[in-house]
A and B are shown apart, each in its own frame.
With several copies, the nearest count.
Chain A
Amino acid sequence: MKRIYLDYAATTPTHPDVVEAMLPYFSDSFGNPSSIYSYGQEAKGAVEKAREQVAALIGARDDEVVFTSGGTEADNSAIQGVALADPERNHIITSATEHHAVIETCRFLERRGFKVTYLPVDKEGLINPDDVRNTITEKTCLVSIMHANNEIGTIQPIKELAVIARGAGVLIHTDAVQTAGQIPVNVDDLGVDLLSISAHKLYGPKGVGALYIRKGTKLVPFMHGGGQERNRRGSTENVPGIVGFGKATEIARNVIAGEIERQTQLRNHLISGILEQIDGVRLNGHPTNRLPNNVNVSVDYVEGESMLLNLDLENICASTGSACSSSSLEASHVLLALGLTHEQAHSSLRFTVGKWTTDEDIDRVSEVLPRVVARLRAMSPLLKSHK
């Protein structure tokens, strides 16, 4: 039976054209881009071409794009890079629903003496721009708010936040890992100084990402080493990975408009299928300011992992904000920040559609999920009435 993959927000299969673009750079044009002889120059040329491709996706200049090992490194370097650049300012504003790469970096900085404000979100996951305005002080060096949330798909009003931050002379970073390649992302439109991307979320390879750094932004490097990336990131460039990333962004640019429409339909179809067929279900996140590929629901009385496992047995891959799926025991900080109870957070399921999702896939989920839920509700101690 065909496996139905509905976890594109976790990672995407690398596009076959991307793999093909990468292949020559493993064993043939394998040079170190820092070398001046032929092999090195071939590799360097390939890296620079990829830089143009990535820059084009986000409307940046080539020299504003620094390659990293992924979204996490991009987030770490942006936040630490700004924090350490100005010894006079030690306050960072972020939100309660950021990715761990941002939150944990902030917590690290707190342990090193920085002050961090974690702004709350409303019950649909939105930041209130006034909160940013009201918490900025003269000590604030950075506002870091994600473009769209990886769990619930809520899209933040970055443009508005950027106006506030930059109006107050504060740098603004956005984690666009879930949006680049999925919805239009343009650094000038958004008005941000720093922006993180990850290749494996847009059909590129794992282990590659980029940080956009607006020209003129003062940043202390994160990865200290050789003078690669114009002295902004040491380490031998992951040439095949970078080439693949470039190719993936090029493909994304070509298909994005059509995919937004197609995925939005699939998403809406799945949401209505679930809400119509199962009672006691709520949609998490914003109803409209939401990524085209994201469905996140809480299914009353049923724990997330047990649903995932049952779905997996039916060859459907999804994800959950329930603690039991990870090594921590806490339910998703994102769902709790929306004001969900622990039960509701543990009862969540996330489906994220993508390039290879079909109508039939969605139909199948709408058919299987009610069965799974009924089965698990029958053994739920939270549902006395169903005895």
Chain B
Amino acid sequence: MPDIQSLYSEKVMDHFRNPRNVGEIENPDGTGHVGNPICGDIMELYIKVNGNIITDAKFKTFGCGAAIATSSMVTEMVIGKTIDEALEISNKTVAEALGGLPAAKMHCSVLAEDALRSAIDDYHSKQKKQSKTKAKAKKK
């Protein structure tokens, strides 16, 4: 009987075996690309935002079990949250929601936090561009 659980919590294994929200979103409102090949973890996070509420999130991840599980968890956590609420999610809250991560794997949860922030940043900058475009449109 595998007892890989002794490395990862049951929650991590659940998210690793059945990752939620895998995939990409067509025309996302925000996208985060983080990680680098040297560390062996690459994560893409896509969000759909409607009136300040994150209505959908999807991910694609190249990485270890913890990277996949944190990616899955972070998408689950953000859906339904406002942007401000989502910004309160830290690597610690993701790790906690997963029932903890081995010390050597905490960097994966940092990756998830970074991906989320980067997606939100992307959303904000798109928003700015749009409002500028709208402003411009109005001026014209």
Q: Which residues of A contact B (CB under 8 A)?
A: 3, 36-38, 41-42, 44-45, 301-306, 309, 312-313, 315, 322-327, 329-331, 341-343, 346, 378-382, 387
**Are A309 and B4 CB-contacts (below 8 A) given A325-B64, A381-B62?**
yes
Contact call A302/B7, Cβ cutoff below 8 A: no
Answer yes or no: B73 CB below 8 A from chain A CBs.
no
Contact call A313/B17, Cβ cutoff below 8 A: yes
Contact call B63/A303, Cβ cutoff below 8 A: yes
Please, how many angstroms separate the alpha-carbon atoms of A313 and B104 in the complex?
21
Q: Which residues of chain A are within 8 angstroms of B104 by Cβ–Cβ distance?
A: 326-327
Contact call B68/A306, Cβ cutoff below 8 A: yes
Contact call A324/B41, Cβ cutoff below 8 A: yes
Please, how many angstroms separate the alpha-carbon atoms of A3 and B3 in the complex?
12
Please, how many angstroms separate the alpha-carbon atoms of A323 and B133 in the complex?
45
Given known contacts A38-B2, A41-B7, A324-B105, what 10 new A-B pairs fall within 8 Å (CB)? Answer: A37-B4, A38-B1, A306-B65, A306-B68, A309-B4, A309-B16, A315-B2, A324-B63, A329-B39, A379-B60
Minimum CB distance partner of B105 in chain A:
A324
Chain A interface secondary structure, helix, strand, loop or mixed?
loop
Enumerate B94-140 residues with CB–CB distance to A below 8 Å: 104-105, 107
A149 CB to nearest chain B CB (Å):
21
The one of B22, B40, B66, B105 that contacts A322, using a Cβ cutoff of 8 Å: B40
Pairs of residues from A and B, 8 with the lowest C-beta to C-beta distance, nearest first: A324-B64, A305-B64, A346-B40, A381-B60, A342-B37, A38-B2, A381-B44, A309-B65
The one of B1, B3, B65 that contacts A305, using a Cβ cutoff of 8 Å: B65
Answer yes or no: B80 CB below 8 A from chain A CBs.
no
Contact call B60/A380, Cβ cutoff below 8 A: yes
Minimum CB distance partner of A327 in chain B:
B104
Please, how many angstroms separate the alpha-carbon atoms of A61 and B87 in the complex?
38
* Interface pairs (24), CB distance under 8 Å: A3-B2, A36-B7, A37-B2, A37-B4, A38-B3, A302-B62, A303-B67, A305-B63, A309-B16, A312-B4, A322-B64, A323-B40, A324-B63, A324-B66, A329-B39, A329-B40, A331-B38, A341-B37, A346-B40, A379-B22, A380-B61, A381-B43, A381-B44, A381-B60
A80 CB to nearest chain B CB (Å):
28
A205 CB to nearest chain B CB (Å):
23
Enumerate B15-48 residues with CB–CB distance to A below 8 Å: 16-17, 19, 22-24, 33, 37-44
**Are A312 and B2 CB-contacts (below 8 A) given A378-B22, A380-B62?**
yes
Minimum CB distance partner of B66 in chain A:
A324
Contact call B64/A381, Cβ cutoff below 8 A: no
Q: Which residues of chain B are within 8 angstroms of A324 by Cβ–Cβ distance?
A: 40-41, 63-64, 66-67, 105
A106 CB to nearest chain B CB (Å):
23
A52 CB to nearest chain B CB (Å):
15
Q: Which residues of chain A are within 8 angstroms of B105 by Cβ–Cβ distance?
A: 324
Q: Which residues of chain A are within 8 angstroms of B66 by Cβ–Cβ distance?
A: 324
Please, how many angstroms separate the alpha-carbon atoms of A14 and B17 in the complex?
32
Please, how many angstroms separate the alpha-carbon atoms of A232 and B69 in the complex?
31
